[in-house]
């Protein structure tokens, strides 16, 4: 699979080079997706995110079977919170907040149960996990170095949430020269209107940040 294949997408077809493409799964963590996690505690409807689990699971299994690169990210902080800006800790005035003890351990702290990836999409030992302190997967991480060393130039991006960590990562990737394809059934927002707007912002202006498609279009090629 060194040649390219066209994937049907908006605003126009995406030229997919499988060997130069990584599947980047953003923050499919228990704290965001499970009832009783950080997201639910803030009053969010986790069902809006949970609908992405099954399409991601199917895509991941086909992607793995094709022998292609998978990278997972997790948002979270050191247990001493020295990488947590005070502004992020206190914003929203929620009690408890990041670093405090919640129902699934300390909220968004590395090593705690709620910080980990949901069992349905659990990484295999050979799949890199990027632990990121911010919303974007490139900020304060070694993601760019890893992708460059593996000659990756394209990213198929899935995960949560569409307008926060997915959009921030797509924008960071653009500025570093990557082509990004976002799969709308595999990304989710707690807010339906932000799901729509977040995807529109990517594909507007003839793909100002990249392309939008659905997992079925990728499976049609790999499956």
Per CB under 6 A, residues contacting ligand TIU are 27, 32, 75, 160-161, 164-165
Q: How far is the CB of 169 from ligand TIU (least distance, A)?
A: 9
27 flagged as catalytic: yes
Residue placing its CB nearer to ligand TIU in the complex, 31 or 179? 31
DSSP per position, the chain: --S-EEE--BSS-EEE-GGGEEEEEE--BHHHHSTTSHHHHTT--THHHHTTHHHHHHHHHHHHHTT-EEEEEEE-B-TT-TTS-HHHHHTT--SS-TTSEEBTEETTBTTSGGGSBPGGGPPPTTSEEEEESSSSSSTTSSHHHHHHHTT--EEEEEEE-IIIIIHHHHHHHHHTT-EEEEEEEEEE-SSHHHHHHHHHHHHHHHHSS-EEE-HHHHHHHH-
Q: How far is the CB of 52 from ligand TIU (least distance, A)?
A: 12
Residue placing its CB nearer to ligand TIU in the complex, 16 or 135? 135
Q: How far is the CB of 1 from ligand TIU (least distance, A)?
A: 30
Residue placing its CB nearer to ligand TIU in the complex, 75 or 172? 75
Residue placing its CB nearer to ligand TIU in the complex, 52 or 161? 161
Residue placing its CB nearer to ligand TIU in the complex, 7 or 201? 201
21 flagged as catalytic: no
Q: Considering 21, 165, 180, 186, which one is annotated as catalytic?
A: 165
132 flagged as catalytic: yes
Q: Considering 21, 27, 31, 116, which one is annotated as catalytic?
A: 27
Q: How far is the CB of 164 from ligand TIU (least distance, A)?
A: 3
Which CA distances in Å does 34 have to 9, 29, 156? Answer: 30, 8, 24
Q: Considering 21, 31, 132, 179, which one is annotated as catalytic?
A: 132
Q: How far is the CB of 144 from ligand TIU (least distance, A)?
A: 19
For tokens 């699979």, name the residue.
1
Residue positions annotated with a catalytic role: 27, 132, 165
């Amino acid at each position: 699979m060194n040649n390219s294949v066209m994937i049907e997408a908006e605003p126009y077809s995406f030229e997919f080079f499988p060997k130069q493409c990584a599947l980047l799964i953003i923050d499919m963590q228990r704290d965001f997706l499970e009832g009783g996690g950080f997201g639910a505690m803030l009053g969010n409807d986790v069902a809006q995110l949970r609908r992405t689990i099954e399409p991601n699971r199917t895509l991941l299994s086909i992607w793995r079977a094709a022998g292609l690169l998978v990278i997972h990210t997790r948002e979270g902080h050191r247990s001493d919170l020295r990488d947590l800006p005070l502004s992020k800790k206190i914003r929203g005035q929620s009690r408890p907040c990041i670093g405090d003890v919640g129902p699934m351990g300390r909220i968004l702290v590395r090593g705690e149960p709620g910080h980990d990836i949901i069992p349905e999409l659990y990484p295999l030992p050979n799949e890199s996990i990027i632990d990121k302190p911010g919303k974007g997967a490139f900020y304060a991480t070694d993601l760019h170095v890893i992708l460059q060393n593996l000659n990756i130039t394209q990213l198929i991006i899935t995960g949560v949430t569409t307008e926060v960590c997915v959009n921030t990562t797509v924008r960071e990737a653009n500025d570093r020269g990557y082509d990004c394809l976002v799969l709308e059934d595999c990304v989710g927002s707690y807010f339906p209107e932000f799901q729509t707007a977040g995807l529109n912002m990517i594909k507007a202006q003839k793909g100002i940040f990249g392309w939008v498609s659905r997992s079925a279009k990728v499976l049609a090629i790999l499956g």
